[in-house]
Every structure is written in structure tokens, then in C-alpha cells.
Amino acid sequence: MKAKTNLRLLVLIVTAVMMFPFVFGCGRSVQISTVESFHYSYRGGMEADSNDVYDIELIDGEYRAKIKPSGVSDEDALEISIEELDVRALEEIMCTYNVGSWDGFDKSNSFVMDGNSFTLKVDMDGGRSINAHGYANFPNDFYKFSDEIDRVFMRIYNDNYSDT
């Protein structure tokens, strides 16, 4: 009788452990697909305008971007149509650094009073989305991802800023 009870308990525990990832989303990764909107911001200091803000939105089949690098005021941000090729480059970067696994990341270091922070929100076709936020705490490969994103947006900004 005791062996039967132990076996039932063991089966219950094994089932619970196997179901944990499905119930709580551990190991879940959003598949990267066609971006419909993209918002990324990174605050790296306490000074005015010390944040980077990059936004893309697909409007009537055209990608529109708002690019505000650190040190540039919100009023001086570049708003421009961008090529679909640039958006595909962002999708590739997100794939390279497994950004789909960041969905739900929301961590902070409560011991840091004025640290760096980021927010990422991506909406894709098929209703997929990625939402991530960190304050003095970042997901794996965050800085590599951030550097690549900066390169794409700053190339667009530098190529077009003098035209506005």
C-alpha cells in the first residue's frame, strides 16, 4: 500500500515538473517574424536627452521611423520613411541574439539607484510580440544586440539627417 502511494506521489511530482515550463513560460521563445512596430529605448545617464529612442511603425505598407540618439532632443529627432531592407536587418539581429527569448524579461537591480535601463517592445505579424524591460539588469547578449541596433539606426540617421 505504501509503495503504491509513493508511486502516485512520484508520478504527480514528475508530471508537475514536466508541466512547469508550459504553465510558467520558462524556456518560451517568441519566433521572430515580420516586424509591424518596433520600440527600443536605452537610458545610459541622468543628463537631459541622454537616452536613445528608436521607433518603427508600418503604416499603409510603408515603414516610418523616429530616431532620437542620445544627446539629441525629442524635438530634433529624425522622422523618416525607411527601407524594408533596414527592417529585415533588425529582424536578423533579433534572430542572431535570440531576442524572442527575452519576452517577459522584467528585471531590476534594487541596489542600483541611478543605473542604465532599457525597454523593448516589438509587434510582429501573426499577433506575436516581445516585451522586455530592465533596470541595471539585462538579458543575455543585450549589449551585443544594442550595439547592432545602434549601428543600423545611426547609419540611417547619419545618411539622412543633413537632408532634413
| pLDDT tens profile 6-31 | 556 544 454 444 443 333 333 468 99
> Does 15 lie in the same domain as 94?
no
Number of domains into which the chain is organized: 2
| Parent domain of 15 | 1-30
> Does 88 lie in the same domain as 113?
yes
Judge contact between 44 and 70, C-beta under 8 A: yes
What grid cell was written down for 163?
537632408
Q: What is the CATH number of the domain that holds 137?
A: 3.30.1560.10
Select from 35, 32, 72 the least CA-distant residue to 53. Answer: 72
Whole-angstrom distance, CA of residue 148 vs CA of residue 53: 14
> Does 81 lie in the same domain as 7?
no
> Does 41 lie in the same domain as 23?
no
> Does 114 lie in the same domain as 51?
yes
> Does 115 lie in the same domain as 71?
yes
> Does 140 lie in the same domain as 93?
yes
pLDDT for the residue 45 = 62
- Max Cα distance, the chain (Å): 83
Of the two residues 117 and 17, the one the predictor is more confident about is: 117
> Does 73 lie in the same domain as 42?
yes
What grid cell was written down for 21?
515550463
